[in-house]
Structure 1
Amino acid sequence: MKIKVIREACCSQDDQAGPLSIEVDIPEKAMVWELAREIGEANFLQFTGTHRIIDVYCAGKHLFSIPAVGIEGGRVEYIVDRNDLASNYLRENKIQCIWTPGL
């Protein structure tokens, strides 16, 4: 299953330096944690000193939050059950990664 992943830029240079969208391909029976791993390991997300955790949504539903590598105790925080089928939440084949409000 091909999914477009779009992320907000973390700074003005990021807007110009790196891609703000990629396509990931996950199996039809992939679980939510496998989707998180695919996005997290794609070398696509960018972080800064003030932007350390990014929230992942599909069709307005918050699925999980991914921390920057190296954050003490940094683990993906799952809002939905990590062992659910990802397809249960993929109402559209587009994922949005946005900065936690208040940053």
Structure 2
Amino acid sequence: MAEFPWRTHGAEVLLKVRLTPKSSRDEIEGPGQDSNGGQFLKVRVRAVPQDGEANAALIRLVAKALRLPSSSVRIASGGASRVKTLALNGDPAAISQALTQLCGA
């Protein structure tokens, strides 16, 4: 992949994800690309997209995968959409390294 689905923005890392709720399991599938060439991280959760359950499951899953507290992960945009931007707070270099490993890049 030429580019990654995240970028640093000040003290945060902004991660673009495509969430699939009501899946058979919670998992981070890996990188994906939309029809316009935009990059995202494909994530599946068992939770339903009702009352913020799928978003909360997404935050827990990403926080656990990156070894961050859940309070360090928030939805910056796209709360009601399949494609969301997560803001990750912490050491941007460490988060970027963990995302690189998670994406297999």
Q: Same fold (TM over 0.5)?
A: no
Higher relative contact order (CA 8 A, sep 6+): 1
Q: Which has the higher helix share?
A: 2
